[in-house]
Amino acid sequence: MREKLKFKKLLNEFRSLEYEFEYNSEVLREAGEAFECHYLNWCEENGVDIEAIKKEKSKKTLAHQPTPEREDGTRAEAKKKHSKHRDVFKSIAKKIHPDKIQTHDPRKDEFNDAFLKANNAIDNGEWGGLFDVIDKYDIDIHDYDSANESLEKDIQRMNDKLRTQKSTYSWLLQNCGDDLQCRDVVIRAYMKQVYGWDVNK
């Protein structure tokens, strides 16, 4: 019983992080456009010839292009189906597989979406999505210890994704609000990292 309660707690934590990530992604779509406009205006106002800087960067990049390396297999590994929690996936398939639902059943699309979500979770080893489906359709889990361990890893993965989002220049600039000094610091850091441009050079 305690492990089942822990599972519910972890799943709710995962869902909360997932919602935050989705919200931040929406914010970043707009923030990305705003960043582009602000940084181009900044270049114009500060007499920075961004086109010349881009050309110079492009020349250096072409001159130092590394020899193409052979694929090391990590990408192929990521595409492999994960064997973990296959029993859980089979329980989902028994209950909501789209082929088991009549064409005229109003739940057909809903079950299809849920099944695809579970299938993608198995393919990618992203367990929060799998357990979200389990919880929604009240499907039994036999090994809560293993489920909780997987959820804890997925929570860590989501936290890493959120940290990445919040370290983007678009996010940082957006958080400056109307603070012009903060905006200036963000744009200068961007110019230095992306183009190697430094005002002191």
Q: Whole-number mean pLDDT of the chain?
A: 86
Angle CA 172–176–179, to nearest 5: 150
Q: How far apart are CA 56 and CA 39, in angstroms?
A: 18
Cβ neighbours of residue 154 closer than 8 Å, sequence gap 6 or more: 14, 126, 127, 128
Q: Which residues of 132-151 are buried (b: 16+ CB within 10 A; e: fewer)?
A: bbbeeeebebeebebbbebb
Domain boundaries, the chain: 2-58+79-195
Which tokens is 20 given? Answer: 């935050």
- Among 32-46, 72-86, 105-119, which is the least confidently predicted range? 72-86
Q: Is the pLDDT of residue 77 over 90?
A: no
pLDDT at 75: 43
On whether the CB atoms of residues 16 and 128 are closer than 8 A, the answer is: no
Position 200 confidence tier, pLDDT thresholds 50, 70, 90:
low
Q: Which residue has the higher pLDDT, 147 or 61?
A: 147
pLDDT at 82: 56
User: What is the pTM assigned to this prediction?
Assistant: 0.76
Q: Is the pLDDT of residue 118 over 50?
A: yes
On whether the CB atoms of residues 53 and 193 are closer than 8 A, the answer is: no
pLDDT at 72: 47
pLDDT at 96: 87
The mean per-residue pLDDT over the stretch 185-196 comes to: 91
- Over residues 124-144, the pLDDT tens digits come to 888 999 999 999 999 988 899
pLDDT at 107: 85
pLDDT at 76: 40
CA distances from 36 to 40, 71, 192, 198 (A): 6, 34, 16, 19
| Amino acid symbol at 80 | K
Three-state secondary structure readout of 60-125: HHHHCCCCCCCCCCHHHHHHCCCCCCHHHHHHHHHHHCHHHCCCCCCCHHHHHHHHHHHHHHHHHC
pLDDT at 86: 86
- Over residues 48-74, the pLDDT tens digits come to 888 888 888 777 665 555 545 544 444
**Percentage of residues of the chain with pLDDT beyond 70:** 87
